[in-house]
Structure 1
Amino acid sequence: LCGIAAAGQLAECVANGLLEDFGDGYAFRHEIARTAIEMALTPSKRREYNERALAALRENPQVATARLVHHAVEAQNLDVVRELAPAAAREASRVGAHRDAVGYYEVALRYADMLPVDKRAELYEGHAFECHLIGRVEAAMEAQGQARQLRQAQGDRVKEGDGLRCLSRFAYLLGDREAADRFGAQAVELLETAPDGPELAMAYSNLSQLAMLAERLEDTLMLGGKAVELAERLNRPDILCHALNNVGAAGQWLDFAKGRRDLARSLGIALSGNFQEHAARAFTNCACVEMNRLNFKEASSLLERGIGYCVENDLATWRDYMRGVQAQLLVRLGLWDDAAAVAHEVVDDEATTPLVRYPSLVALARLRIRRGDPSAEPIVEEMRRFLDKGMELQRLVPFAEVMAELAWLGEGDRDEALHLIALAEGLAPTRAVFGGLAAWRRLLLPESDPSETDSMAEPHRLQLIGDWRAAAALWARMGAPFERALALLQGDEAAQREALDIFEALGARPVAQHVRGLLRQSGVGRIARGPRQATRANQAGLTQRQMEVLQLIERGFSNKKIAAHMAISPKTVDHHVSAVLGKLEAVSRGEAAAAARASGLV
C-alpha cells in the first residue's frame, strides 16, 4: 500500500515504537495508536485507504474473510459487505466464535435492504441461531420472527415450518413452556403437508424433546423414533444425535443402561461431526442423568468436560446451565462456598435467561435456607414464578424439596410442601424419581408409608426402609455430608449428636438449631447450645450492619453488588468494608472472609 519509496519512513516508525516489523508485513504495536491515526484521517481519505487495503488483501486467498469485511465496511463498499459478511459469520460459527458470528450477521443485516427476500430471511435465521447460542434469546426470538414474516411472504411452507420449530426452542429457553408447545405443534402441522425432509425430522425431534422435558415417556419415544428413522433415511447425523439425546434422557427411567448408551452415542456423533449445540446439550443431559442416579463422580467429570467445551466454543447458554447443575453438585458435596461462587456467576448476569438461571437458583435457595440467609425468599419466589409458565417435573421436584426443607425448619407451610410432593409424584413416570421426595415427606410425616422403594437410588431406599446406618455410610462414601446427617437423624442419640456436629461444621445454623429442638423434645440432655453469632460479632467489635456486609463479602459480592443488595450507597459500603477489614485485622476481602469462617462469624 505504501510503495517502495516509503521504506525509510516505515523503518523510522518501527524505530520509534509505533509499528512492528514482522518480515512479511507491518502492524501497529498498540491498537490505540492505530485508532488515533485512523480517526485523524478525513472520511474521504479513510474510505480511499480502506478501499486500497481491501483490493490488496483480496489478492491473497489466505486472508481471513473477517479482515475483508472490516475494510469493506470502512470503505463503504456495500456490494462486498453483502457478499462477505454472511460468509464471515458462517466461518466464525464453524470455529466456535459465536459472538463474532452475531456481529457479522448484524453487519450483513444493516446493509441487507437491497437483497432478495430469501437472502434476507437466511440472514435473520442465522442471526437468530447464533444469538441463542450466546444467551441473547430475546434477540433470537425477534430475528426469527422477522424471518418467519419473510418466509410467509414467499409462501415457503418448509422454511416457515422450520422457523416455527426454532421459535419453539427459543420460547422454551425464555421459560415460556406454553408458547414452546404451541410453536412446536404448528411446525409439525405445517411440515407434514410437505414432502418428508430434514425440517420435519427436526420438528419431530423438537416435540420429542419437549415431551422428554415434561416426562411424557411414550410421546418422547414415539416422536423420537420418527425423528431417528427419518434422520437415518436422509443421512442427517446432526438430527440423529439430537433425537438420540431425547430418547436416551427419557429412556433412563425405563432402562438406565440403554438410556446411557443412547446418550453416549448422541454425544459421540455430535463431537465427531462438530455439531456444537448438540454436543453441549448431550453433555448436559448425560450429566443430569448421572445426577439423577446420584453418581456424583461421573456427573462431575461430565460437567467439567461439558463446561470446558462450551467455554472453548463460545456456547454461553449451555455453559451457564451446566454451571448451575455443577453448583447443585457442589452443594451436595458440602463445598458450599464454591457452590455459591459458581451459582452467582450465572445469577448475577442480568442477561441470563430464566431457564438457564433455574439450576443456579436451586443451589442458592438450598444454601441460603441452610445458612439462615434472609435473602432466600426472593430466590424461592423466582423459582415459584417459573413454574407458573409450565409445570415440568425437572423444576417441580427441586422446588418441592426446597419448600419441604423450609416447612421442616418451621419456616414454610407443611401442607403446601406435602401438596407439591404429591403433585410431583403424580407427574413422575416411575418411582425411581421419588427417592428424594419420599425422604422429605418422611421428615414432615414420620409415619408416612413410602410404598415401593426398589427402583429408588440406594441411599434413599435404605433410609426409607429404616436402615439409617447403611444409608449414612453410603452417603459418606459418596461425599454428601448434609444428606449423611439427615440419615443419622433417624438413628440413636449418638448418631443424632453426630448429625448435629455435621450441620455445625457445614455452617447450617438454622438446621443445627432445629435439630437441637428435636433432641430436646425427645428427652436428650446436655446439648451444646452452639456458638452464638451475635456474641462472636461483639467480640470482634462488629456492628450488626458490618456483620451483614461481612456475610456478603464472604459470599463473593463486590461493593457495587453489596450496595444494590442492601439498598445503600457504594460510598457507605466502602466505609463498612474498610471497618470490617480493620476489625478483623485483614488486608484483603479474601483474608477477611477466611478469618470470618475460621472464627465462626459466618
Structure 2
Amino acid sequence: MLARAERLSAGARAMLDAVSVFPRRADAWALQGLCGVASAGQLAECVANGLLDDLGDGYAFRHDIARRAIEMMLTTSHRRQFNQRALAALLENGDVSTGRLVHHAVEAHNLAAVRELAPIAAREASRVGAHRDAAGYYEIALQQADSLPVIERAALYESHAFECHLIGKIDDALAAQGQARRLHQADGNRLKEGDSLRWLSRLSEMGDDREAAAAFGAEAVAMLEAAPAGPELAMAYSNLSHLAMLSERVEDTLFYGEKAAALAARMNRPDIASHALNNVGCVEQWLNPDAGRLRLDQSLEIALQGNFQEHAARAFTNRACFEITQMSYDAVRPVLESGIHYCTENDLGTWRDYLRGMLADVQLRQGQWDEAAATASDVIDNERTTTVGRFPALLALAKLRLRRGDPSAEPLFAEMARLVGSGGDLQMLSSYAALMAEQAWLGLADRQEALALITRAETPVRSRAHVGELALWRTLLSPDMPAGDTAEMATPYRLLLTGDWRSASALWSELNAPYERGLALILGDDEGQRLALDIFDGLGARPAAQRLRDIMRKNGVGGIARGPRRSTRANLAGLTLRQMQVLQLIERGLSNKRIAEQLTISPKTVDHHVSAVLGKLDAVSRGEATAAARDSGLL
C-alpha cells in the first residue's frame, strides 16, 4: 500500500494525505474546500490506484489501518495544518456534528476551539444517550480547562463525573467529583460544595464503600441545612433516604424521602420527586405492597416523561426488585426486558448489567438454567462491568454452578466473599448467606459457619422472601432448631415451615420454581421426596439429588431410584449446537484455550460451555462426559 502511495503524482499524494486526517470518511465538499477544484482529478488517481473508495458523495480508505499508516507519516506541522484546514471547511457546513469538529480541533492543536467545542459535543452526546462519548469529550475539555474560571472548571468536572458514573467508571467519577468539590471549597461556595458532597456519597455507595457514603451524605446535609433550602438540600435528603433504603431502615427512608419530596414539590423539581418516590416505594413494599408498587410506577413515569435517564434506570431496577421480592416471577419479566432495553439504548452500562443479572436469577429460579448461564456469563465476562452491576450475575452464576456440581463455582464464591467482607449491603449479605448455607447442606462448606452467617444476615433483614429463605436453610442444616417467627415470611416459606409442605410445593409449582419446589418436598413424606428426586434429576441438579438420596437411605426409605443412566442422561441432555461442538473438541483432547481458538470465542465462554456440558451429562470430569456421550451415540 505504501509503495502504491509513493507512485502517485505529487498532487494526488497530497490529496491522499489530506483524506487521511478524516476518520471513517471525507466528504467531497469538505475536500473541495480543503484542496480546491483540482481535487477531483487527484482523488480519481487515488481511486484508480486502489487506495481510496469513491462513495459517491465522499471518499474513504479501503482499510482504516491504511489510513492510519498514511496519517502517521505526516509531520506534526503538516498534520496540524491539514486538520486546521479540515476544521475550517467543516465549520462552513452547519450540519456537521460537533464531535467531528472536536476531533479536528484537537489534532490541529487549536486549543481555543477545543475549549469551545468539546463541552458542546459532550452535551449533545449525553442528550442522545451516548454517555461514553460524552465522558470522552468532557475529558478532552478538561485537558484544556486550566485557564477557565473556577466555576466553569468545577462544572466541567461535575459533568465528567456524571457521565463516568453512568457508564460504570466509578473511580474516574469519584476523582472528578473530588476535584469539583475542592474547587467549590476554594471558591467559598458552600452550596455547591454541599452538592458535591452529596454526589461523593452517591458515588461511594456505587463503589461499594458504604462507610464513606454515609459520612459524605451526613456532611452534605449538615452543610446544606445551614444555607437557604434549595434543590441541593432536597437531593441530599433523598440521598440519605436512598442509603437508608439500602440498609432496610424503613423509618429513616420514609422520613428523609418525604422531606425530599416536599421540597421537590415546592421547587417544581420532578427529577428529585422521582428519586424520592423511588426510595419510599421500595420500603413501602413491607408496609403496603400496593402503595409501594404505585409509588415506584409514579417514579418511573416521571423519569421517562422528563428524560431523567439515571432516575429511569434506577426506577426500572427497583420496580423489578419489588416484584422479585414479592415472588412475582412472571410479572417481573416485562419490567426487566423493558429496563434492559432502555439502559442499552441510553448507554447506561451499570444499570443494564444489574438488570441482566436479575434476569439471570429469575431464569435460574424458573428452571431455565442454560439461559441463566448465558445471561449471567455475558455480564461476568465484560471487563467493564462495575462491582455493583456485577453482583446479581455473580450470584446467579455461582448458584447455578453449585447446583450443577461444577467445581468452577469456587472462584465465584471467593469473589462474593470479598465483596460481602468489604461491607456490601444487606441484600448482598443475605443472598451470600443463603448460598453458603446451600453449599454447607450439600456437604461442601462448614455447617456451623453457615449457621452463624444466617444469624448475622437475618437479624436486620426485612424482606419476606429473604427471611423465609434463610429460615428454610437453617431448618435444612439443623432440623431441631426452631423456624422462628413465620408470620413475616413469604407465603411458600411460611406454609413449609409450619408443616404444610404440600401447599408450599403447590405454590412453588404455580410460581414455576422447580428447584425451590424440590427443596420443599424434601421436608415431605416418602412420595414427596421421590418427586423431589425426579425434579432434581430433571434439572441436572446432581449434588442436591445425591444429598437427598443420602437422607432417604439414612431414614430407611427403600427402592430409591439411582438416577438416570449415563446413556439416558446424554440422550435427554438437550445439548445446544455450540455445546455439541465443544463436546466434540473435548473428546479430541483439546484444552479450553485451544477450543476457544477453534471456535473463535473467548476462553471464558468456553469455560461456561464446558460447565453446561458437564452439568447436562451429570458428569464430574471431561472424561466422564465424553464416555456418556459415546454410550448414547452422541459421539
Q: TM-score, normalising length from structure 1?
A: 0.87
Shift of 1:519: 0.5
Alignment correspondent of 1:119: 152
Instruction: State the alpha-carbon separation in 2 of the partners of residues 421 and 67 from structure 1.
Output: 56
Shift of 1:505: 1.9
Alignment correspondent of 1:318: 351
- Note if contact 1:253-1:432 (Cα within 8 Å) is conserved in structure 2: no
Q: SS where residue 54 of structure 2 aligns?
A: strand
- Note if contact 1:20-1:29 (Cα within 8 Å) is conserved in structure 2: no
Residue number among 57, 60, 84 corresponding to 2:90 in the alignment: 57
Structure 2, unmatched stretches of 5+, are: 1-32, 600-605, 620-624, 626-635
- What letter matches 1:341 in structure 2? A
- Note if contact 1:131-1:137 (Cα within 8 Å) is conserved in structure 2: yes
Residue number among 493, 505, 511 corresponding to 2:526 in the alignment: 493
Instruction: State the alpha-carbon separation in 1 of the partners of residues 147 and 581 from structure 2.
Output: 51
- Go from structure 1 to structure 2 and tell me whether the alpha carbon gap of 1:192 and 1:370 turns closer, same or farther (over 3 Å shift): same
Structure 1 residues 35-44 or 366-375, which shifts more?
35-44
Structure 1 residues 354-363 or 284-293, which shifts more?
354-363
- Note if contact 1:65-1:88 (Cα within 8 Å) is conserved in structure 2: yes
Q: How many residues align?
A: 571
Instruction: State the alpha-carbon separation in 1 of the partners of residues 67 and 383 from structure 2.
Output: 34
Q: SS where residue 38 of structure 2 aligns?
A: helix
Shift of 1:462: 2.2
Q: SS where residue 394 of structure 2 aligns?
A: helix
Instruction: State the alpha-carbon separation in 1 of the partners of residues 270 and 297 from structure 2.
Output: 14
Alignment correspondent of 1:191: 224
- Note if contact 1:178-1:389 (Cα within 8 Å) is conserved in structure 2: no
Shift of 1:365: 2.4
Shift of 1:557: 10
1:93 and 2:122 equivalent?
A: no
1:376 and 2:409 equivalent?
A: yes
Q: SS where residue 92 of structure 2 aligns?
A: coil
Instruction: State the alpha-carbon separation in 1 of the partners of residues 224 and 157 from structure 2.
Output: 20
- Go from structure 1 to structure 2 and tell me whether the alpha carbon gap of 1:594 and 1:460 turns closer, same or farther (over 3 Å shift): closer
- Note if contact 1:65-1:84 (Cα within 8 Å) is conserved in structure 2: yes
Matches within 5 A, 1:314-463: 314-390=347-423, 392-429=425-462, 433-463=466-496
Alignment correspondent of 2:315: 282
Alignment correspondent of 2:9: none
- Note if contact 1:140-1:170 (Cα within 8 Å) is conserved in structure 2: yes
Instruction: State the alpha-carbon separation in 2 of the partners of residues 376 and 27 from structure 1.
Output: 49
1:480 and 2:513 equivalent?
A: yes
- Note if contact 1:341-1:555 (Cα within 8 Å) is conserved in structure 2: no
Of all paired residues, the percent bearing the same amino acid is: 59
- What letter matches 2:155 in structure 1? E
Alignment correspondent of 2:275: 242
- Note if contact 1:462-1:468 (Cα within 8 Å) is conserved in structure 2: yes
Alignment correspondent of 1:542: none
Instruction: State the alpha-carbon separation in 2 of the partners of residues 78 and 237 from structure 1.
Output: 38
- Note if contact 2:398-2:409 (Cα within 8 Å) is conserved in structure 1: yes
Alignment correspondent of 1:47: 80
- What letter matches 2:250 in structure 1? L
Instruction: State the alpha-carbon separation in 2 of the partners of residues 589 and 328 from structure 1.
Output: 20
Q: SS where residue 72 of structure 2 aligns?
A: helix
Instruction: State the alpha-carbon separation in 2 of the partners of residues 258 and 433 from structure 1.
Output: 21
Listed one character per residue, the Cα deviations across residues 191-223 of structure 1 (whole Å, up to 9, x for unaligned) are 112211211111111111000000000100110
Structure 1 residues 470-479 or 218-227, which shifts more?
470-479
- Go from structure 1 to structure 2 and tell me whether the alpha carbon gap of 1:573 and 1:444 turns closer, same or farther (over 3 Å shift): closer
- Note if contact 2:404-2:615 (Cα within 8 Å) is conserved in structure 1: no
The CA RMSD over aligned residues, in Å, is 3.2
Alignment correspondent of 1:503: 536
- What letter matches 1:316 in structure 2? G
1:228 and 2:261 equivalent?
A: yes
Instruction: State the alpha-carbon separation in 1 of the partners of residues 226 and 609 from structure 2.
Output: 66
- Note if contact 2:350-2:388 (Cα within 8 Å) is conserved in structure 1: no
- Note if contact 1:431-1:453 (Cα within 8 Å) is conserved in structure 2: no
- Go from structure 1 to structure 2 and tell me whether the alpha carbon gap of 1:261 and 1:442 turns closer, same or farther (over 3 Å shift): same
Residue number among 193, 203, 206 corresponding to 1:173 in the alignment: 206
Residue number among 560, 585, 593 corresponding to 1:527 in the alignment: 560
- Go from structure 1 to structure 2 and tell me whether the alpha carbon gap of 1:31 and 1:391 turns closer, same or farther (over 3 Å shift): closer
